């Protein structure tokens, strides 16, 4: 396969098929096949990043989503945020997450820290 920038779905599918073929060969490091595999993977990752970039959610939206998933009410967040008014202010974007809130919510709601520390808009 000629290595080039992937510009469309057809080229993307061809690259994926070639990756599968090369993976089946399980080439030794430093061989022409392993180099081709490594480059193809980078090209596919870049194509996916450009065309199918899935951004991480806003921290407040992530909290609301997890509350819905876990069937939680605002009052259920009091132990992690402080009091009912703080929960309301946070969910209405009137206050920001503090470090202790981030830590508590991440642990209790199983939301990754990198999502909770993003800026809230």
What are the structure tokens assigned to 108, written together? 């209790």
pTM of the predicted model, to two decimals? 0.58
Instruction: Give every residue of the chain whose pLDDT is below 70, as ranges.
Output: 121
Give the sign of the dihedral formed by CA 24, CA 30, CA 32, CA 34.
Answer: positive
pLDDT (tens digit per residue) in 46-67: 999 889 877 778 999 999 999 9
pLDDT at site 121: 65
Q: How far is CA 17 from the centre of its chain?
A: 25
* Burial group, residue 15, by CB count within 10 angstroms (0-12, 13-18, 19+): buried
Q: What does pLDDT average to over the chain? A: 92
pLDDT at site 108: 96
């Amino acid at each position: 396969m000629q290595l080039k920038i992937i510009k469309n779905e057809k080229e993307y599918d061809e690259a994926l098929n070639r990756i599968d073929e090369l993976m089946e060969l399980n080439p030794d490091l430093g061989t022409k096949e392993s180099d081709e595999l490594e480059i193809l993977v980078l090209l596919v990752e870049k194509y996916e990043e450009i065309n199918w970039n899935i951004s991480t959610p806003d921290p407040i939206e992530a909290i609301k989503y997890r509350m819905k998933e876990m069937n939680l009410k605002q009052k259920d967040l009091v132990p992690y945020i402080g009091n009912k008014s703080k929960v309301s202010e946070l969910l209405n974007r009137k206050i920001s997450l503090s470090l202790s809130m981030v830590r508590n919510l991440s642990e209790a709601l199983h939301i990754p820290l990198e999502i909770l520390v993003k800026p809230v808009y």
